[in-house]
Amino acid sequence: MHAVDVDAIALTWAQRNTAAHAAAGGTPVTLHAADVRAPDLLVDLESRVDLVLCNPPYVPDGTPVPQEVAAWDPPLAVFGGPDGLDVIRAVVGAAAGLLRYGGALAIEHDDTHGEAVPALLRRRRVLTDVEEHHDLAGRPRFATARRRVPEGS
């Protein structure tokens, strides 16, 4: 299991939590201090990953957020560029290279991205079975896809 974050404080918390998880018998997690937009992200894992899960910053820049978010969450973890899709675009590209055949991808997104994120996934020819999913309030909140298996495999 591998996890990626660009924020040093988030990585400190993740290290503490994953160490406790491993000490309790859970699967060890390798943490990577990296930006998912880096072109050389996890190149040693290309075509070997079973599952990519992503909860990126996805709120469009300048969008008002609830007070508890504004007070406690660092902007780097909330805002995802002018349309909120900067990090999501990078994750879709990275996942297309990291996933093994049949591997899956799930991305949480802003409820205004119910059409945009599935469209980004469908543009990648190596991804298939794209689906949009709704939260318990019925809002579009995450999308999934699989890495296409070559015909005849």
- Which residues sit opposite 124 in a β-bridge? none
Say how far apart CA 144 and CA 52 lie, in whole Å. 10
Q: pLDDT tens, 53-103? A: 999 999 999 999 999 999 999 999 999 999 999 999 999 999 999 999 999
Query: Does the model's pTM come out above 0.85?
Result: yes
The amino acid occupying position 61 is D
Say how far apart CA 36 and CA 42 lie, in whole Å. 9
pLDDT for 152: 78
Say how far apart CA 37 and CA 117 lie, in whole Å. 17
- Whether 151 has a pLDDT exceeding 90, the answer reads no
Which residue, among 88, 15, 78, 28, has the nearest Cα to 53 in the 3D structure?
88
Domains, the chain, ranges and CATH?
1-34 (no CATH), 35-147 (3.40.50.150)
CB 15 within 8 A of CB 31: yes
Q: Which residue has the higher pLDDT, 138 or 151?
A: 138
